Amino acid sequence: MLRLILPDTRYLASYVAAMREGFEFGMCPILPEDEIKKIEADPFDHFEGYNRHGGMFTPTDGIPRPSVQHNFYWLVDEKDFIGAISVRYEMNDFLEVHAGHIGYGIRPSMRRQGHAKKIIALGLKKLKERGVTRVLITANEENLGSWKAIEANGGVLESKIDCIFDKGGLSRRYWITLKD
C-alpha cells in the first residue's frame, strides 16, 4: 500500500539508491556522490532538517523569509522509497506566487506509473486535514508529467507567469478546491 511517512531510516538504503538514480525536486536537488555518502553515514541531521520548524528560509529569489508551517513526507510502499513531497500549510508572498502549497518528486526508476498523481492526492489530504481548502500548485510549462498529474487531481489553470526556478520559461499556476 502506498502511504506518506516522515523520513525513516528503515527506508535509508532505498532512499540512497533513489538519490544515486538522480532523484530530484525543488527541495531535493540531485546530489553528488560525496554528499550522498555523508547522508548514508549520518542520515539523522539530513532527515530532521527537512522537518525542522521555525527559523528563516531563503527561496530562489534570495530574500529570506520566516519559515512557514510545513511537512516533508516520503511516498513509500512496503519496501521502497518512491518519492517525496513538501506540504506547506501556510503561504507567504513568494509561495503564493511561485511555489504554491506542495512540491514533489518521484524517483526516476518509478516514474510513469501514476505515482505523481498519487503523491499529490495524498498531499491534498494532508492539507485538508489542516483546514486548507484552496490549494495552489505550480508546474513548469515544459513539465508535462507534473501538470498532467495536477490536472488529474482537479487542478484548474489560473495563469502562466515567468518561471523563477532553474528551468526558466513559463510556470503554470493551478488551483484545486478541496470539497467536504
- Point out which residues bind ligand COA (CB under 6 A): 24-26, 103-106, 111-117, 139, 143-146, 148-149, 152
Q: Give me the least distance between CB of 112 and ligand COA, in Å please.
A: 5
Q: How far is the CB of 87 from ligand COA (least distance, A)?
A: 12
- Nearer to ligand COA by Cβ, of 22 and 44: the residue is 22
* Nearest to 49, CA basis, from 107, 110, 7: 7
Instruction: Write the DSSP assignment of 46-87 as a string of letters.
Output: HHHHHT--SSEE--TTS--EEPPSEEEEEEE-SS-EEEEEEE
Q: Minimal CB distance to ligand COA: which residue?
A: 145
CB-nearer residue toward ligand COA: 92 or 143: 143
C-beta of 180: minimal distance to ligand COA in Å? 26
Q: How far is the CB of 128 from ligand COA (least distance, A)?
A: 20
Q: Which amino acid is at 123?
A: G
Provide the sign of the torsion angle of the four alpha carbons 27, 91, 136, 141, taken in this order.
negative
Nearer to ligand COA, 105 or 155 (CB): 105
Q: Indicate the residue among 41 and 163 with the shorter CB distance to ligand COA.
A: 163
The nearer residue to ligand COA, 79 or 112, going by C-beta atoms, is 112
Considering only CA atoms, which of 29, 164, 176, 167 is closest in space to residue 99?
A: 164
* Spatial separation of the C-alpha atoms in residues 140 and 60, rounded to whole Å: 15
Secondary structure (H, E, C), 16-56: HHHHHHCCCECCECCCCHHHHHHHHHCHHHHHHHHCCCCCE
Q: How far is the CB of 120 from ligand COA (least distance, A)?
A: 8
